[in-house]
Structure 1
Amino acid sequence: MRYAIRKAVAWTVGIFCAVVVFPAVAVADNPIVQHIYTADPAPMVHNGRVYLYTGHDEDGSTTFTMKEWRVWSSADMVNWTDHGSPMSLATFSWASTNAWAGHTIQRNGMFYWYVPVTNRATGRMAIGVGVSNSPTGPFRDALGRPLVENGEIDPAAFIDDNGQAYLYWGNPNLWYVRLNPDMISYSGSATRIPLTTAGFGTRTGNPSRPTLYEEAPWVYKRNGLYYNVFAAQCCSEFIAYSTAPGPTGPWTYRGTVMPTQGRSFTNHAGIVDYKGSSYFFYHNGALPGGSGYTRSVAVEKFAYNADGTIPMMTMTTSGPPPADTLNPYARQEAETIAWGSGIETEPAGEGTMNVGWIENGDWIKVKAVAFGAGAKSFTARVASGAGGGTVELRLGNENGSVVGRCAVPGTGGWQNWTNVSCPVSGATGTQELFLRFTGGSGYLLNMNWWQFTS
């Protein structure tokens, strides 16, 4: 978010405090990213982490103004690492606008990101493919042209147990192709799945669209049953789902997953299993300035019913409990955040990302930090093009007990990095850690990473 919008988050928190509802805000972990608007979540589990691929609604958007895609990851479902933007409209030389809802899947050590964009030559929505050998990119255009183009949107890929891959997409229709093993070509032609009321529910008041299916299919398989979770009806949308005995149907409508709610007239779902639990991703307009065009991704933990049906869920501000603890004695990226107030992120000159635009009173929360018997010292990689500031280490909340203070000097530039260290006392057990930044006026410092010693 730009300065005015990101400060609105801190301002709103302050107002909530004044009316004595601040504790609910302080413990909130939904939406899972607070420093920019995110939309259209596409989660993927790989090598013990959840990678989350999202769109990016530009600040102040009054339509779907989207120019890039973003990547985040987590090992515990509460602290999310910002990996920046490894793919944008500029990745596709043939695309002009609309970096809309995509989906990433891994095969044979490569990662394929299917995205809808406007084809400059035709003016229609088309689906391109970005490819990378890393889940965090950078991604390049795999084809130099669209994979498919029929003016429809919202691709989602699925690989069946027998190795056959499928790409689904569509609004107002629902299409699929059988992808070849290279994941960037397909056999046969695009097939339209019949949208019947038995398969996708009944919509009233719109004779041209008799079923609930609107867009954003999310297809996966569980215990031999195929699920298609989709955005239903318009507008506002809710999340519904259908099941089938095979990847192409016949589909049977099963009901609502998440009813219409939140300050967004669209929704977009993604479901994964991770560390023995199931998680449902969606978006809403919950951040300050949020709307149907400035959305934010959130997540809920859930359990399937005994018969395999999906329970109905509602949006929460709390989000899921930690799926694991965070090890403070391993180096942690500063942009690994459960909740941030006032901060932003940017590409770091040393690689990865750094937290920046830090001012007096800004803070970062990190959840489920496992200090164990106790931390002895704290080291951070910092830079400052001004006079520096102080990093206060607090437990419990941003005004909690101080267990350490690290002074950060001016370093002569916002990417001139140095390490600072300070003693720590009283950090034991598993805690919520707050890095609170203090100092004079203006921007104080940037932070790249941090690490405790035991």
Structure 2
Amino acid sequence: MREFKNRRNPILPLEFHIPDSEAHVMPDGKLYLYGSFDDREDVYCSDRYRVVSTPDMEHWTIHDVSLTGQEIPWFNDPDAPKYQGIDWTHPTPFIRKMLENMAADGEDMKEQFEKAAENEKPPLLFAPDCIEKDGKYYLYFCMTDDSEGVAVSDRPEGPFTDPVQLPCGGIDPAIFIDDDGQAYYYWGQLFSHGVKLNEDMISFDEGAVVHDLVTEEEHYFHEGSSMRKIRDTYYYVYADMERGKPTALGYSTGKSPLGPFTYRGIVIDNDHCDPESWNNHGSIECVNGQWYVFYHRCSRGTQRYRRLCAEPITINPDGTIDEVKMTSQGVGNPFAPGETMMGYQACELHGKVYIGVEEQLKDSAGNCYEEKLTNLHAGDEIYFRYVESAKDWTKVRLITAGSGKVTVWMNGKIAGSITVEGKTGITKLTEAEIGMPAGRYEVVLKVDAAEGLEIFEVTVE
């Protein structure tokens, strides 16, 4: 178990990558986050889950492992029931594009999937969800073989035991209990499916499944189902393809848990969190009277190593949700004058720059900077949102390695520039004067020149 304090993005200590976050306030009044666990560059997720909790969005606990893939008895069992996941023969725009790309490369998709189905897969656990009913906590999960299941615990953080396979196949399960106590189960990719759960919370009538609740073609649905109810409206939140790739969390609404649903828009888009940004998966939840969106951002120049983040959102009187930008400040106040912004807290990146790992570099005081902004080139842009001061802004400080020149922009206006002269691998503190009136600002560092330049810390005051 790990306890810590933080109100900034990313939320978790750097060694913990918990994406696909489903957020639920449980009966004890605490918020619990259920997600997958990234720890490899070559594949999404891993073979274990860890639950995160907080009583106040500031003091956090990362609990011990709650379930492992090795505990699932039917995984890679040739005699276990097999259920189809995504239907790759269904001609959605996404599938058509994949087929065209593979055909252009001389690959046969059908042959690839048949071959993959024959191979033994690692017991990876993909995105989960969890709900409480009658004092029991039900964790719904999915795996690399398209199987889905549920495990049970007496505690919201687990451990979860006695896994049972569900009669369906696919990814990204979601669970929702309506005001009348009826539970609903959702899953799917490109086409979503939903069904009423039986009273036991671990079974359902296969003949009662409603298909195509939201789809790629009509609702921009890619994956990552999540259901909430606000007043008398049901909100289906998911990874949204409207902008060409599923980096956004979008939502559709309806007057019934099983639809029909109408597409309403995007809540947040993590595009440009990294040059390789590709997917998003998260949820919305009301905590102590404030609604938040929980989502992830990838790092290290890959689609993986995704990080848990959160932003406050507004549910308007007409039921719509305003789109919000990714921020560095997260659920806290804007950064104060003189408050350090770590390089890994940059919330938007343009160009070749990404947040990379630095395990050994130490400064003269012995401080170790575990991650940094690296691979900087002329033309790159680095965003930090937001800083705020009652006094004029007069100074910028950078801790860097290498050399280069950076122009500081605040709310779209040039505040000043800073030239760094140093050697690769050796950290250096450089400061320069800037000029900008008091107020709240988005800070953008635009790289004019870079020679081995890396940025560890940014401070404005």
Q: TM-score scaled by structure 1?
A: 0.58
Distance 1:210 1:278, change over 3 A: closer
Deviation at 1:292, TM superposition (A): 1.4
> Residue 260 of structure 1: CA displacement?
4.7
Aligned partner (choices 75, 85, 100) of residue 126 of structure 2: 100
Q: In the alignment, does 2:297 pair up with 1:297?
A: no
Q: How does 1:187-336 map to 2 (within 5 A)?
A: 187-189=205-207, 191-194=209-212, 209=217, 211-233=219-241, 235-261=245-271, 262-263=273-274, 264-286=277-299, 289=300, 291-321=302-332
1:242-274: per-residue Cα shift (whole Å, max 9, x none)? Answer: 100111111111111113512231100211111
2:153 maps to 1:132: yes
Unpaired segments of 5 or more residues in structure 1? Answer: 1-25, 119-123, 204-208, 323-338, 342-358, 365-454
- For the Cα contact (< 8 Å) 1:50–1:73, is it kept in 2? yes
1:190: Cα distance to partner?
5.1
- The unaligned stretches of length 5 or more in structure 2 are 77-122, 334-341, 345-361, 371-461
Q: Deviations over 1:36-79 (max 9, x none)?
A: 222110111121211111211114x1222411111111111122
1:82 corresponds in structure 2 to 62
Q: Is the 8 A contact 1:72 1:84 kept in 2?
A: no
CA distance in structure 1 between the partners assigned to 2:368 and 2:202 by the alignment: 44
Shift, 1:237, TM fit: 2.8
Residue 318 and residue 290 in structure 1: after superposition, are their counterparts in 2 closer, same or farther (change >3 A)? farther
Equivalent position to 1:110, from 136, 141, 147: 136
| Partner SS, residue 112 of structure 1 | strand
CA displacement 1:113-152 (0-9 Å, x = unmatched): 100113xxxxx30111111000111111332xx21333x1
Distance 1:274 1:300 in 2: 12
**SS at 2:308 equivalent:** strand
Label 1:139 to 1:290 Cα distance change in 2 as closer, same or farther (>3 A): farther
Structure 1 residue 291: Cα displacement: 2.9
Q: Structure 1 pair 361/92, CA: closer, same or farther in 2 (3 Å)?
A: same
Structure 1 position 312, deviation (Å): 0.4
Shift of 1:219: 0.8
Contact in 2 for aligned 1:173/1:192 (Cα 8 Å): no
Q: Give per-residue Cα distances to partners, 1:262-293, cap 9 Å, x unaligned.
A: 2231100211111111111000115xx26312
AA in 1 matched with 2:160: F
Other-structure match for 1:148: 167
Change (3 A) 1:62 1:49: same
1:301-345 per-position Cα deviation (integer Å, ceiling 9, x unaligned): 1221121211101111111138xxxxxxxxxxxxxxxx9x9xxxx
Displacement of 1:166: 0.4
Question: What is the aligned counterpart of 1:53 among 34, 54, 73?
Answer: 34
1:296 and 1:290 map into 2 onto residues whose CA distance is 13
Count of aligned pairs: 287
Question: Separation in 1 of the partners of 2:263 and 2:187?
Answer: 18
Whole-angstrom distance in 1 between the partners of 2:45 and 2:163: 24
2:166 counterpart SS class: coil
Deviation, 1:93, is 2.1
- Structure 2 distance, partners of 1:252, 1:277, is 25
Between the two proteins, what is the percent identity of the paired residues? Answer: 34
Give the match for residue 440 of structure 2: none
Please tell me whether the aligned partners of residues 69 and 125 of structure 2 are also in contact (alpha carbons under 8 angstroms): yes
1:4-83 to 2 correspondence within 5 Å?
A: 29-33=8-12, 34-46=14-26, 47-59=28-40, 61-83=41-63
Q: CA RMSD in A?
A: 2.9
Deviations 1:345-398 (A, max 9, x none): xxxxxxxxxxxxxx964699xxxxxxxxxxxxxxxxxxxxxxxxxxxxxxxxxx
Q: CA deviation at 1:28?
A: 7.1
Q: Is the 8 A contact 1:28 1:317 kept in 2?
A: no
C-alpha displacement of 1:188: 4.8
Cα distance between partner residues in 2 of 1:212 and 1:292: 20
SS at match of 2:250: strand
Q: 1:230, 1:269 within 8 Å by CA — same for their partners in 2?
A: yes
Q: Deviations over 1:411-443 (max 9, x none)?
A: xxxxxxxxxxxxxxxxxxxxxxxxxxxxxxxxx
Read off the aligned partner of 1:315 and give its amino acid letter: M
Ranked by relative contact order (alpha carbons within 8 Å, sequence separation 6 or more), the top structure is 1
Cα deviation, residue 210, structure 1: 5.8
Q: For residues 260 and 298 of structure 1, do their structure 2 counterparts lie closer, same or farther at Cα, with a shift above 3 Å needed? A: closer
Question: What secondary structure is seen at the aligned counterpart in 1 of 2:70?
Answer: helix
Aligned in 2, Cα 1:223/1:211: closer, same or farther, shift over 3 Å?
Answer: closer
1:340-351 equivalent positions in 2, closer than 5 A? none
For residues 301 and 192 of structure 2, the distance between their equivalents in structure 1, rounded to whole angstroms, comes to 29
Give the Cα separation in 2 of the matches to 1:320 and 1:65. 25
The residue number in structure 2 matching 1:157 is 175
